[in-house]
Structure 1
Amino acid sequence: MELCSQLAYSRSLWPGKGYFYYVDNNGAKKALATDKTYLRSGKSSFTEAFSSNYAMKNTSVHDLATSNIQYIEECYVPPFVNEINCQFSLRIKANSTCPDVCNELNIKTILCQLSDLYADNGGYKELAYRYAKNVLMGNWLWKNQDCRGYSITIHLSDGELLTIKDAHKLDWNASWKEDDSDTLTQLTDFIANALADKSKYGYMDITACLAVGGGDEVIPSQEFIQDKKSKYPNRQFSKMKFNDQTDTVAFHSQKIGAALQLIDDWWLDDVSDKRLRVNEYGSDRSDVVARRHPTLANDFYTLIQRSEEWIDSLQRNHQITDEVHFIMAVLVKGGLFNKTT
């Protein structure tokens, strides 16, 4: 199967923006505000003293001892506050079951058949299991996971309430306690049904309660500053208007989505401990390498061309290969998959 000139899938996971707050002694929810700070930062970069070929620049011993002044935003837990919360919503729609845009009917038929067989053989349950783990482990908190402990509470659109009390103790590869494992199963089933069935739209509100100390640093999303003006901080955080119209720090929805998509450990023949964010070329940002480079024949565009082969295999063996899991994970992520000339 060759890709057509117009092919697009809408994403199936729609996380909202994550916002931080705390509850005061009167039970009122309060925003986590930012401080604006001037810092004296010592010169430390390679280019301060060297050219790209390691030739030393003409600097004096005094030049490298001076400081650069930086104006930044910071966020800290207020004094005497022992808990903060971070909350976001997640919508789930079965958009990977069929292309949103496809200008060739035979290709659309093949892709829809692949997703139908994937659903019939329980494939969405495997994806849902991985998304659910990332939600319950609080991986979407990123560096804020390094606190004194946290719990996760989830309100599902079917009325169920799920809770993980010691989410910071959970490990991806280790076995979970019975109660936590039951919660994982329940959330997995909810997500899998919403991913596979267009009539079962899923919605949930997810809250992490973090045990902290007054003065602990909070690390939300950082805004990209294109025009750095002296009267504004060089580092600014993402914010949302809180209920009293004050700003509270926040995560971008894309940052939360990136954490939920950390499920690709299918890129190695052996079991890998390194899960990548789902990406067509297996982008490994920490090692700055494409784990699914086309020369390895395991990238999305190479694998999806073999859709008819995967369909035949599913019909005969009812076994889902790692390649098919990866293809469907990319389609759940959504995107434009056109073949351009």
Structure 2
Amino acid sequence: MAKKENIASVLAFEKKLIPSDGYMYGTTWENRNTVTPLKLQEKSVRGTISNRLKSAIKGDPAKLNAEVEKANLQRVDSCALAPEQDTLKLHFSLKVLGGIPQPSACNNALFKQSYSAAAKDYIAREGFRELARRYALNIASARFLWRNRVGAEQIEVVVKVLNKESEQEWVFDATQFTTRNFDADDSQVNQLAGRIATVLSSDDDFLVLDISCYAKVGRAQEVYPSEELVLDKGKGEKSKILYAVDDIAAMHSQKLGNALRTIDTWYPAFDDLEESAGPIAIEPYGAVTNLGKAYRTPKDKQDFYTFFDGWARGEKLDRIVDEHYVMAVIVRGGVFGESEK
């Protein structure tokens, strides 16, 4: 248990990977320089009853027919390429920041000193090389396309460094990289990872990347912007609302960020064929909301706080991968204050 004089009840870290929103455009694979902003379209559809029915209805064919006859009218947003277009372009920027050893807020000087020493020791030994390699592979593999990646015949990712006097560019064939692991060894990925690692290891440096991704999904095919959270479903006019900025279909910066930090293959169940969810996003409790499961629990002593509380006070962790995980959560950012009680 930490001594009372070494407890930071106020502790916060700013995120170090900062994506913009992603903007969506339609184009053709042969002429990718000519693009058209994609707009949302509203549809009014009549669906069928497909939810589970009460026992009384299931056992009575007449009541079942009555239910089926009821109209299931819906108004929804959708987004698709134009009839002459076969390729989706997703464009966003990514800023990478340094300054990991310094919390953005900390109300305990003793804790701040011990944490900074632990962070600097990690940087001296590891230099963020493994984390940066995984971030770079997530960019190269176009993991950030999410559902738009499925069924794409060809995917090209163009990454440009926008920093003045240090411009650089890489072009990746995303289909050559899997999203199931991080075993790939590619010279261009390693170059991009080197730029990211250098900045993450710095005191106050920064890197700005311009990322354009082209996915050949098929003529007039539907594409998938982010979906807005509808808090009053059933009361509003539409049951599905998609995200757009200035009439351009878009993906939330949070969704892009989640894809970039999907690098956690170190949680206990990863190697279990029945339990594994594949790589998961870096989270303090390994939360995967669509599966309704936390893969890093305090009970198993695999969560961020179990590792961080000792490590930040000078204790050594048993495995280097646990250090990678702790530092990845700090790159993610958040408020991690500890109660003195």
Q: Name the % identity.
A: 26
Which AA in structure 2 matches 1:334? G
Per-residue CA distance 1:16-44 (angstroms, 9 max, x = gap): 00001134879653211122111111111
Helix, strand or coil at the partner of 1:237: coil
Counterpart of 1:152?
157
Change (3 A) 1:196 1:57: farther
**1-structure distance, mates of 2:55, 2:257:** 39
Match of 2:264 in 1: 264
- Tell me, what secondary structure is at the counterpart of 2:63? coil
What is the root-mean-square deviation of aligned Cα atoms in Å? 2.8
Change (3 A) 1:93 1:320: farther
Runs of 4+ in 1 over 6 A off after TM superposition: 54-59
Matched, 1:68 2:75: no
- The aligned length equals 324
Aligned CA distance change for structure 1 residues 286 and 26 (closer, same or farther; 3 Å)? closer
Q: Structure 1: which 5+ runs fail to align? A: 242-246
Aligned AA for 1:114?
A: A
Q: Are the aligned partners of 1:152 and 1:167 in contact in 2 as well (CA < 8 Å)? A: yes
Partner of 1:244: none
Alignment-derived partner of residue 119 in structure 2:
115
Please tell me whether the aligned partners of residues 96 and 334 of structure 1 are also in contact (alpha carbons under 8 angstroms): no
For the 8 Å contact 2:147–2:224, the answer to whether it is kept is: yes
Instruction: Please state how far the C-alpha of 1:283 moved relative to its aligned partner.
Output: 1.0
Q: 2:174 aligns with which of 167, 174, 184?
A: 167
Change over 3 Å in CA distance of 1:42–1:198 after alignment to 2: same
Deviation at 1:67, TM superposition (A): 3.1
Could you tell me which residue of structure 1 aligns to residue 331 of structure 2? 332
Pick from 184, 188, 207 the counterpart of residue 183 of structure 1: 188
**CA deviation map 1:168-197 (0-9, x unaligned):** 231254765x7xx11110111011111110
- Give the secondary structure class of the aligned counterpart of 2:196: helix
In the alignment, which of 41, 45, 54 is matched to residue 49 of structure 1?
54
1:58–1:336 Cα change, 3 Å? farther
- Mapped to 1, the partners of 2:269 and 2:73 lie a distance apart of 49
Q: Following the alignment from structure 1 to structure 2, what is the Cα–Cα distance between the partners of residues 29 and 205?
A: 17
- Alpha-carbon distance in structure 2 between the residues aligned to 1:41 and 1:119: 56
Query: Shift of residue 79 of structure 1?
Result: 0.7
Question: Which of 282, 292, 300 is residue 296 of structure 2 equivalent to?
Answer: 292
Kept in 2: contact 1:11–1:95 (CA 8 A): no
Aligned to 1:321: 320
SS in structure 1 of the partner of residue 178 of structure 2: coil
Q: How far off its partner does 1:233 sit?
A: 2.5
Superposition pairs for residues 126-275 of structure 1, below 5 Å? 126-146=130-150, 147-156=152-161, 157=163, 158-164=166-172, 166-172=173-179, 173=181, 176=184, 181-227=186-232, 232-241=237-246, 247-268=247-268, 271=271, 274-275=278-279
> What is the TM-score normalised by the length of structure 2?
0.86
Cα shift readout 1:191-216 (whole Å, capped 9, x = no counterpart): 11111103321110101011132221
The verdict on how the C-alpha distance between 1:174 and 1:110 changes in structure 2, with shifts beyond 3 A counting, is: closer
After superposition, give the CA deviation of every residue in 1:121-152 in whole Å (9 maximum; x if it has no partner): 12411111111111110000000002221100
> How far apart are residue 119 of structure 1 and its match?
0.6
Which residue type is aligned with residue 261 of structure 2? Q
Asked if structure 1 preserves the Cα contact closer than 8 Å seen for 2:27 and 2:86, the reply is: no
C-alpha distance in 1 between matches for 2:299 and 2:227: 35
Q: 2:15 aligns with which of 11, 14, 17?
A: 11
What is the CA distance between 1:110 and its match in structure 2? 1.1
Which residue does the alignment assign to 1:33? 39
In the TM superposition, what is the alpha-carbon distance from 1:320 to its structure 2 partner? 6.1
Structure-1 separation of matches of 2:257 and 2:13:
16
